[in-house]
Amino acid sequence: MFTHLQGIFNFKITIFWISCLILIQQAFANESKCFANKEVCEWTKKVVAIKTPTMVASGVILSNNLIVTNRHVIEDSEFVLVRMPNKKILKAYSIANEHVADIAFLSLTEKIPKFDINIKDIQPKSAIMIAFDIGRNDIRVFEEKDIISYPEKGKIQARIHSFTQNLPGTSGGALTDSKGNLIGIISSGGGEYNEAVPSSLLKSVFEKTNNNSSLFFEIGKSIRLCADALEEIKEFQSNPGSLLLKKIQTHCELSNNKFLFDMAGQALGKVGLLDDAIYFLEKSSNLDPKSPTSLHSLAIALHLNKSYEKEIVVLKKLLDFTPDDPQVLRLAVQAAAFTKNKEFGEKAISLMEIHNPGAVPLARDFLNNALN
């Protein structure tokens, strides 16, 4: 469901560093035009492509030598390769930090640069993503889309949620308003929903820079091992075995990363391990209570587990954020029917009449049959 771990390469480290320059130069050979306004188009000169041993992603230049991307992109890499806007391939060094947000900084020198950027704390109703698109082999300005929600105060792992498109390589890209103000760093997404870490958080993350990098890379290793295990479990239709399950439980927990909690919950749910799935999805939704991605996955896991009363609590939140989602509306009618909750069922059908009227007759019959 998530697109940000696609494009993962299984190269050995030695092969990676030998071939990487050739691969990146080929991958980014194309030029593309920007049809947005000047302020937004300027970000195509600040967004870069990042190559790690396991993926290709995006980053954003904040100053001459300082780049920001996602923590789950860097994993435990001490340095990565960056394709700059002028086509040069440079080496960038990871800057350790103690913050829990999915943010990591890179330096183009071995010294830590200064954080020299003024970020406005604004909350526009729509946003534009500028990021690397693997399919187009270029930095791309995406279509402007509506914002769904902004983080609650005090929830430092919570995200900006929008309908911006999700494609491989976009992790670490820039999210701006129509005037070109940076409002977020793209972090993850699922289905129709996209997530970004608020840019207003960047300074506080940078202030958590720590010269003692051992813990930073230790957590990064767990991020990598969790991601590896989640790729491996895709090959299973049911019980993945105790060793793989233990790897997911251990390293995804240690990652303390909302994106990976979502991934783990979805992966475990698909192989029928519903209790484990619910555990990770509840952790994620507690970190980010307004996340449609987390809540949607949690509602499905609770539905499959026949925990309908708990599912209704989750669905009520979802309907506040995404009242037009057809799957959420179907789940709501079913959960209402199974619990004989007429009030909630009528609410779901009233929303269905607005957003998906063709589904109303069957939904009405299903609810009435359950209530009578």
pLDDT at 239: 87
Asked if the domains at 13-206 and 214-371 fall in one CATH topology, the answer is no
Going from N- to C-terminal start, the domains of the chain cover: 13-206, 214-371
Exposure string over 347-366, b if 16+ CB within 10 A, otherwise e: bbbebbeeeeeebbeebbeb
Topology of domain 214-371 in CATH is 1.25.40
pLDDT at 1: 40
Residues in the chain: 372
| Mean pLDDT computed over 126-148 | 93
pLDDT at 136: 85
pLDDT at 35: 78
* Cβ atoms within 10 Å, residue 106: 28
Question: 79 - beta bridge partners?
Answer: 93
Does 262 score more than 80 pLDDT? yes
Does 303 score more than 60 pLDDT? yes
Does 24 score more than 70 pLDDT? no
* Cβ atoms within 10 Å, residue 282: 18
Tell me which of 168 and 220 has the higher pLDDT. Answer: 220
pLDDT at 263: 96
Name the range with the highest mean pLDDT among 15-24, 150-159, 307-316: 307-316
pLDDT at 34: 82
| Mean pLDDT computed over 48-67 | 95
pLDDT at 32: 60
pLDDT at 190: 61
pLDDT band with cut points at 50, 70 and 90 for residue 18 = very low
Report the alpha-carbon distance of residue 108 to residue 104 in Å, rounded: 14
Backbone angles phi, psi at 58, to 5 degrees: -115, 165
Share of the chain above pLDDT 90, in %: 81
How does the average pLDDT of the chain come out, rounded? 90
Tell me which of 63 and 69 has the higher pLDDT. Answer: 69
**Over the stretch 315-329, which tens digit does the pLDDT of each residue have?**
999 999 999 999 999
Does 27 score more than 60 pLDDT? no
pLDDT at 319: 96
**Residue that has been written with the tokens 């799935």 in this structure:** 277
Name which CATH class applies to 13-206.
mainly beta
**Over the stretch 166-200, which tens digit does the pLDDT of each residue have?**
888 999 999 999 999 999 999 986 668 999 999 99
pLDDT at 15: 40
pLDDT at 191: 65
Report the alpha-carbon distance of residue 24 to residue 87 in Å, rounded: 10
pLDDT at 189: 66
Does 257 score more than 90 pLDDT? yes
* Encoded amino acid at 100, one letter: V
End-to-end CA distance of the chain: 38
Does 206 score more than 90 pLDDT? yes
Question: 48 - beta bridge partners?
Answer: 59
